[in-house]
Structure 1
Amino acid sequence: MKTAGGVATVGIAGCGGNGEANAGDGSDSSSDADGSDSSSDGTSGNTLSLSIPEAANFDPVQIKGDGSQVVSDHVFSELLTLPADGLEPTAQLVTDYSVSENGRTYTFMLREDVTFHNGDELTADDVVYSWERLAASENSQEGENILEGGFQIAHDTTTETVDGEDQEVYEPGSLAVEAVDDYTLEVTLEQPFFDALFWFAYGSLSPVPEGIVGDIEGYDGEMDYAEFSSQSPVGTGPFQTESVETGTEVVLSAADDYHGDEPGPDRIAMQVVQNSDAIHQRAMNRNVQVFNVPNSRFDPSKVSIEETRNLGQEIGTYGPLENGETVNYSTWDEAYTAYFIFDCSRVEKPIRQALNYAVNQENFVEQGFRGVGEPAYHQAPPSVYPGGKEAYDQHAEENFPYGYREAQIDQARSVMEEAGYGENNRASLTLTLYNDRNPDAYSRIADLIRSKAQSVYVDLSIERAPFNTIIDEAVSGNLDMYTLGNGLEYPSPADMLKFGRPYDGNLVRWREDPSDASEQAAAAWEQVQNNLGPTEAEEEARSEAFIQMEEAIWEDAIYLTNYHPRGRQWWYDEVEAPIQPSGFHDRLYDSLTFE
């Protein structure tokens, strides 16, 4: 899962979160209270200056927070990449590839002009080593990307006893990745997978030099892990680290002998800033060229959209800012869904349905998120819904049972009264909100839900907790209803609906409330798993199953859907910033130019 957010205080992060999570909502800051800089003079010459949240570990096999991801996106590159105008992966570190007739074996021809930042030439052995680290290293947090789910590289497992239980774990050295010769790589999957190319473009599969660290069998390592992961990561990307002051600043410089186009900036100076007011003041003082305006300060009336592109990106201007400037502005689809989860073992179905009837998701967007985003009716975001946004809207308008773009208070009261509730027998439950991710927006939405709940015989209490605490308490089954959200790692409803199926470990705890709908969702998910190949027939079977899952989720009201966020970016006229195509694309500034 990943979070979604706005550029310059953003990136792609780890599990959960809401779509407008300004990473600067914390109370600490490495800048002065007035937003002035104690860092490098990042706005001089051909240096791009940004504010980022905490940046601590840049190892590709580690799950990253926002700031670390921005750094890693510039230091590392993958075999394939997404083009600026689409979601179909194209070559980056390869010249060509082929797929076997059975759809399982991919053969990649590597470019012969790629060097790592330490001067080593990229070869197939480097990729074998890098992916073995992903699977086997004790430092890896992303091994499931190639060992579990639909996209699996073939491998062996062995049985280990963990906490008294036998578990199947990866057998080191068994990954079906072979260096046929210096520039030919052969990879065999457990089964054909329709979106395999997208996964070969995923950041955790970025190659690093063979033997750079000694955290897998057979390698002593050329660098200490701490130096590699947090000070001097070595990749093939357009930038390399110039200096890292953990908790203060990361400075990148254009990589020597980079195989691609020469980057626009000579340097990128990223100051680590955790306080949202300091982040904003840095932007108002023009200490950065590209920035994010916190949701609490965003005024939608100041937006003027002048262009819309094929992936839904909108480009225009915003202003005036508090400093009197009118600046450039863009927004894009984050492929993310934010919702409120019910623990179905704690909250009865009539209550879950009544709260769905009582709200209008459009109000969540307008009152909570200043009109930026789309009201959510499905779990899968519009950009990946079968048939796209038009099909998403049509299916919701024709089938959403709880009121499409409207509240249905009478129906909410009716379902409660049929269940025996009323003014003299009210239900009560607690909604737990983030206090560290967009707290102002969620407080406004919670007040809206509470007022609607009050009118349909539900007394709603509001509690607040950090994101990690919410996850821990939800897993323990201690929460009635709580905030969460998921961003897609690859452009398919499968990557979102895997969280909506009944399964052991599901935060929804649907498994403890068996029903016709949960059985329908389970059967539909099984249909997806039986049709993971690339054929049109398999795609049609998956699409049918995805819609069945969405309707099963509606029937049992396991969520109260919230919204689909959009990322946002602002920049001054002194630079021409690249337009972020989507939430699937790396957040890169190598093509930025100075005016």
Structure 2
Amino acid sequence: MTDNNGVSRRRFLRATGGAAAAAALAGCMGGDDGDGNGSGNGDQEPQKGGTYRKINSTITTFDPVAAGDTASGQVVQQLFDPLMNYPNGETEVESLLAAEVAENDDASQYTFTIKDAQFHNGDPVRAQDFVYSFERLAASPHSERAYFLLDSLGVTHETDGDGNYKPGTLGVEAEDEKTFVVNLERPFHASLQMLAYSSFAAVPEGIVGGIDEETNGDGDPSQQYKQFAQQEPIGSGPFVFDGWEKGTAADASRFEDYHGEAAYVDKVHWQVIEDDQAIYNYAMGKNVDTFPIPTPKYQQSKIKDDEKDEQGRTVGKYGPLENGEEVNYLKVPEVSTYYFAFNTAKVPKPVRQAVAYVTDQEQLANEVYKGRVEPGYHLTPPLVFPGEGEGYDSHIEEAYPYGKESQVDEAKRVMEEAGYGENNRISVTFTHYVSDTWKQIAQILQQQLRGAYIDLKIEQAEFATLLERGEKGNLQAYTLGWIADWPAPDNFLQLINPSNTYTGQTGVLTYTNWGREQETEASKAAAEAWKTISGNLEPTDEAQEKRNAAYKKMEEANWEDVVLVNTFHGATERFSYDYLHAPKFGAMGPSRQKYNRFWIEQDAQPDSTDAPPSGNNSSQ
């Protein structure tokens, strides 16, 4: 997305100690008939009223085409609706604003019948609004997901001599007010899944004027655009925007005329806190209803009465907390991944290999994260890796070159072969976001790398600041994560398509500059594999087989050049007070969950605290 400072963002994840836990999961997440909070009160009649209060990271925009980070995205999810939806963050899509969906014989054209629905300003949702919204996604100077529409989904369009999209040529049309047609250049195996992403949400036609009216003469956001993106976002979701104090909080209220089931709660309040300790203190004061627990405060022995449900999610109780409460516990494996990354233009390959050799994913998962995460060796999570978990494990056994234990001697060897030694050491800056757990991981790496002639300088940066530095090419080594936009390997492996890694360019997904200054055999292999993936996107078994082989080649190319060191695959644990009744979420994560089915026992929720907690360091 782009905010007032021109900071571009993606669907990156910041992994705090309380945000991550993982386990292998076979199959897709299904529905949830009960309230899903583990309280045993699923037979209670839902009550209306109250405010659902939760914690968020730094929010930067409410424009669906500009929101690419999970913090902004979870608010956008409540304000705007697309054609399709991942219900409660499950991996199977269903219709949302689409009343009906039809496709032609080869799945290159989709025709959507639009529901009877209205925007928050009272205007009806029409096919023309989707034409306008898709054009903004393709051409807006603030769009962060144009490649989703033009490249991944492959909607027909024209380009100029430089390969740039020509505005007004998008292959979408409104046959009438209720019929919206999307034409694809070729069939895509995840078309409906892609259309569930919030960047494809409907906004009222003309809400920010024409594309050329979104910026002023200096290229800065126009006043009309800022009004929409930061002050008065208008969508058709279950909640209406109330207000926002940047770096502090955001609020929304129930949309009484929602086309689906109107929300039970009156309001939603997001308190912005980045610091793990401040998050925990705020939760212990009962200022929020759901919350994470940072790993330093987490004790596995406090999980009680836990059992796996039919979709593989762990449900139980946790406690007592420091405030004496026992709370509901939910752990859901996600289609997500976390990694160390390197700007290859600034960190030589032997140094990157040395980091891979000393990284002990099992140690980080079991000792630092106390068993809350699953060790990760691929960029692709086990749930969507070809062959699922079995294929994931067998590929590691066959091809992973760095072992499953820390190998300082091997790190030292590869550095000495490159000419490094005690009299020729190298200093590398490792930047992580605000997290005590990631700080501990960085310190482990720092200690181990000393013996391999690498002096690791550790820096901490707030999430938004880290992304800004990365886009400008001002990082050497850093930590990030990615949660699926659609549940398939290509959604993850696009991060290491070399042309998607060039800092300073529009659409950069990682800040690694892989092969930019000088192509390597591995970068060429990755680019060629991505070409194979892009050329075989049809929803057929033959195309799937070709993609599967190319997916593995990309993973192996990354192993060779060590652009990313994959560390673990995450999940989310939700801790919630007993008065809150919330459906369980699925493997696409809680940021894809709408809150209209959340409800609160009115005589049990404590009063909110309006003042921000001490230790909140999220202001930009």
Equivalents in 1 of 2:574, 2:580: separation in Å?
13
Aligned letter for 2:157? H
Cα contact 2:119–2:204 (8 A) shared by 1: yes
Of the structure 1 ranges 14-23 and 317-326, higher mean CA displacement relative to structure 2 is found in 14-23
CA, structure 1 residues 281+414, in 2 after alignment: closer, same or farther (shift >3 Å)?
closer
CA, structure 1 residues 504+276, in 2 after alignment: closer, same or farther (shift >3 Å)?
closer
Matches within 5 A, 1:294-373: 294-304=294-304, 306-309=306-309, 312-373=312-373
Aligned letter for 1:132? E
TM-score by length of 1: 0.83
Equivalents in 2 of 1:227, 1:476: separation in Å?
27
CA, structure 1 residues 478+125, in 2 after alignment: closer, same or farther (shift >3 Å)?
closer
Aligned letter for 1:142? R
Of the structure 1 ranges 538-547 and 388-397, higher mean CA displacement relative to structure 2 is found in 388-397
Cα contact 2:48–2:266 (8 A) shared by 1: no
Matches within 5 A, 1:6-405: 14=10, 16-20=12-16, 45-55=49-59, 57-63=61-67, 65-84=69-88, 86-111=90-115, 113-147=116-150, 149-158=151-160, 167-216=162-211, 224-244=224-244, 248-273=248-273, 276-304=276-304, 306-309=306-309, 312-404=312-404
The structural deviation recorded for 1:211 is 2.8
Equivalent in the alignment of 1:38: none
Equivalents in 1 of 2:474, 2:257: separation in Å?
55
Equivalent in the alignment of 2:570: 565
CA, structure 1 residues 154+264, in 2 after alignment: closer, same or farther (shift >3 Å)?
same
Query: Which of these residues, 549, 573, 580, is aligned with residue 544 of structure 1?
Result: 549
Question: 2:495 is paired with a residue of what secondary structure?
Answer: coil
1:282-307 CA-partner distances (Å, limit 9, x unpaired): 32122222222234433333234723
> Which consecutive unaligned segments of at least 5 residues does structure 2 have?
2-8, 20-46, 215-222, 503-510, 602-620
Cα contact 2:354–2:410 (8 A) shared by 1: yes
TM-score by length of 2: 0.80
Equivalent in the alignment of 1:593: 599
The structural deviation recorded for 1:533 is 1.0
Question: 1:546 is paired with a residue of what secondary structure?
Answer: helix
Equivalents in 2 of 1:574, 1:197: separation in Å?
36
Equivalents in 1 of 2:146, 2:413: separation in Å?
49
Structure 1 vs Structure 2 CA RMSD: 3.2
Question: 2:99 is paired with a residue of what secondary structure?
Answer: strand
Cα contact 2:52–2:269 (8 A) shared by 1: yes
Equivalents in 1 of 2:266, 2:364: separation in Å?
42
Cα contact 2:17–2:437 (8 A) shared by 1: no
Query: Which of these residues, 473, 480, 492, is aligned with residue 496 of structure 1?
Result: 492
1:343-389 CA-partner distances (Å, limit 9, x unpaired): 44554444433432233111122344343211111111222211222
Cα contact 1:86–1:311 (8 A) shared by 2: no
1:72-102 CA-partner distances (Å, limit 9, x unpaired): 2112111111234842321111122222234
CA, structure 1 residues 249+432, in 2 after alignment: closer, same or farther (shift >3 Å)?
closer
CA, structure 1 residues 71+505, in 2 after alignment: closer, same or farther (shift >3 Å)?
closer
Equivalents in 2 of 1:132, 1:490: separation in Å?
21
The structural deviation recorded for 1:278 is 4.3
Equivalents in 2 of 1:310, 1:461: separation in Å?
45
Cα contact 1:151–1:196 (8 A) shared by 2: yes
Query: Which of these residues, 470, 483, 488, is aligned with residue 487 of structure 1?
Result: 483
Aligned letter for 2:184? L
> Which consecutive unaligned segments of at least 5 residues does structure 1 have?
2-12, 24-42, 160-166
Equivalents in 2 of 1:470, 1:57: separation in Å?
17
Report sequence identity in percent.
36
Of the structure 1 ranges 223-232 and 257-266, higher mean CA displacement relative to structure 2 is found in 223-232
Cα contact 2:13–2:70 (8 A) shared by 1: no
